[in-house]
Amino acid sequence: MITAMTTFAENVGASRIVAGTRIQNPCGHPALSREQDRALRRRIVQTALDALERPVEGPTVFRPERLVV
């Protein structure tokens, strides 16, 4: 699950939680340029894809700045 509300997602028991940017735009940021927004979006989605391959025990938060948890 990609969301800015990571503690919220932990609260309801989501297993793999990718930290998004803000509530209203979790996969990017409208203040960035088109290229920067796209690059941020790619990083976030790539983090989510990588998280799918990792075994987890309980709710785990993955942060896009660190592609390896």
Partner 1 sequence: MRLELGTFPVAELRFGSETRLDGARLTVDRDAVRRLVAEDLTFSRVDVEIVRPGEACRVIHVADTVEPRIKVAGPGAIFPGTLGPLENVGAGRTHRLSGVAVLSSVEFPWRRVGGVILPTEAIVDMSGPMAAYTPFSETLNLVLVLDLQPDLTDEEYERAVRLAGLKVAAYLAECTRHLPPPRVDVLDLTVQDPSLPRVVYVWQIYSLETYGGQYWYGLRLDNLFPTLIHPNEVVDGALVSGQHTAPNVKHCTWLNQNNAVIEGLYQAHGRDFNFAGVILVRGRYTTVEEKQRVANQAAKLAGLLAADGALVTWESSGNAQMDAILIVQACERAGIKTVFLTTEYGGHEGTDVPLIYHVPELDAIVSTGSVDQRVAFPPMPRAVGGATVRLRPEVGGIRQSATAAIVPDRRTELYCSGHQLGTGRITCLEY
Of 13 and 55, which CB lies nearer to partner 1 in the complex structure?
13
Residue type, 38: R
Q: Is 4 in the site for partner 1 (CB under 8 A)?
A: yes
Q: State which of residues 1, 13, 15, 23 lies at the interface with partner 1 (CB under 8 A).
A: 23
* Piece of 7-15, 35-43, 44-52 that binds partner 1 (CB under 8 A): 7-15
Q: Is 22 in the site for partner 1 (CB under 8 A)?
A: yes
